[in-house]
Amino acid sequence: MARPLKPRTPLAARLIQAREQAGFKNRSDFADRIGVAADTLGTYERGVAEPNTNLLMVYNETFGININWLLTGKGDVFDDATKPSRPVLFPELMEGLVEAVLKVHREFGITLPDGKAAAEATELYNRLLQQGSDTASEEGRRLLMPFIEHLLRERLEKAREEPGTGKREVS
């Protein structure tokens, strides 16, 4: 197994550190989350190329990563060091999301392959976070479940109408 290459620049090293401190050991998963190709992210993390300002803003807006720290190495990695770098994930919320995914897919006659329900639940969770939904309180989580099911039904209806999505076929 090849060892990772040492970053060529301090910025490249900080990009790697930011990704890892945001909870992503896997470059590909992080690249998906910030909306760039994994190969492109790799060029930034090796120091072959530098990300543009828009991408640095995504680091900040998505994970609270301090742009000044990214560029200069000065200050804290995260804008507010007293806050966690990423939201707390509640097991009961994820269980509820997986149950909602399975329930709605059953309503549509879709059988998900093993492990796919967890991936779908994670996508829903990320969407909740992007919308600023309250996942911290038990009441907030309880109230979110009907909304989550609505979002999923809406997505499956749209996918059913679009050729090539793989969701049109009923299992």
CATH architecture of residue range(s) 10-72: Orthogonal Bundle (1.10)
Residue length, the chain? 171
- pLDDT tens by residue, 137-171: 677 777 888 888 998 899 889 888 876 655 444 43
Q: Going by C-beta distance under 8 Å and a sequence separation of 6 or more, which residues neighbour residue 17?
A: 77
pLDDT category at 136 given cuts 50, 70, 90 is low
Predicted local confidence at residue 109, as pLDDT: 92
**Long-range contacts from 68-77, C-beta under 8 angstroms, 24+ separation:** 69/14, 70/11, 70/14, 70/15, 70/18, 71/11, 73/10, 73/14, 77/17, 77/18, 77/21
> What is the mean predicted confidence (pLDDT) over 74-85?
70
In the beta sheet, which residues pair with residue 78? 65
The domains of the chain are located at: 10-72, 91-161
- pLDDT tens by residue, 1-45: 455 678 999 999 999 999 988 888 889 889 988 889 999 999 999
Q: Is the pTM of this model over 0.85?
A: no
Predicted local confidence at residue 169, as pLDDT: 45
Q: Residue 157 — left, alpha, or beta (φ > 0 → left; ψ -120 to 50 → alpha)?
A: alpha
Q: Minimum mean pLDDT among 78-82, 120-124, 140-144: which range?
A: 78-82
User: In whole angstroms, what is the distance from residue 61 CA to residue 34 CA?
Assistant: 10
